[in-house]
Amino acid sequence: MHKETDNQAGYQVNCQVQQETRQQSGTKYYVLGMVTGILAVFAVVLGAVGAVRLYRAVIPISRGNASSGIQSENTGSITDVNVGKKLAVLEETIGKYFWKDVAEETLEDGLYRGLLDSLDDPYSVYYTSEELIALQQQTEGIYYGIGAYIQDGDAGYVQISRVIKNTPAEESGLMQGDYIYKVNDEDMQGKDKTYVVSKIKGEEHTFVTVTVIRENAAEPIDISVERRKIESPTVEYEMYDNGMAYIQITEFDLVTTGQFESAYNQAKAEGMKGLIIDLRSNPGGNLSTVCDISRMLLPKGMIVYTEDKYGKREEYTCNGENRIEVPLVVLTNGYSASASEILAGAVKDYGIGKLVGTTTFGKGIVQKVIDLSDGSAIKLTVSSYFTPKGNNIHGIGVEPDVEVQFDAELYKNGTDNQLEKAKEVLNDMIH
Read off the amino acid at residue 22. Answer: R
Q: Which of 232, 336, 338, 340 is catalytic?
A: 338
- Whose CA is closest to 6, among 297, 342, 261? 342
Q: Which of 363, 368, 379, 423 is catalytic?
A: 363
Q: What's the first-to-final CA gap in the chain, in angstroms?
A: 43
Instruction: Based on the residue annotation, tell me whether 121 is a catalytic residue of this protein.
Output: no
Q: Which of 6, 253, 349, 416 is catalytic?
A: 349
- Whose CA is closest to 376, among 17, 86, 152, 115? 115
Answer yes or no: are the C-beta atoms of 21 and 162 closer than 8 Å: no
273 to each of 155, 169, 259, 325, 430, how far by Cα in Å? Answer: 46, 38, 20, 9, 7
Instruction: Based on the residue annotation, tell me whether 338 is a catalytic residue of this protein.
Output: yes
Answer yes or no: are the C-beta atoms of 54 and 306 closer than 8 Å: yes
Read off the amino acid at residue 87. Answer: L
Instruction: Based on the residue annotation, tell me whether 363 is a catalytic residue of this protein.
Output: yes
Q: 92-122 burial, b if ≥16 CB within 10 A, otherwise e?
A: eeeeeeeeeeeeeeebbbeebbeebbeeeeb
Answer yes or no: are the C-beta atoms of 200 and 224 closer than 8 Å: no
Residues that are catalytic:
338, 349, 363
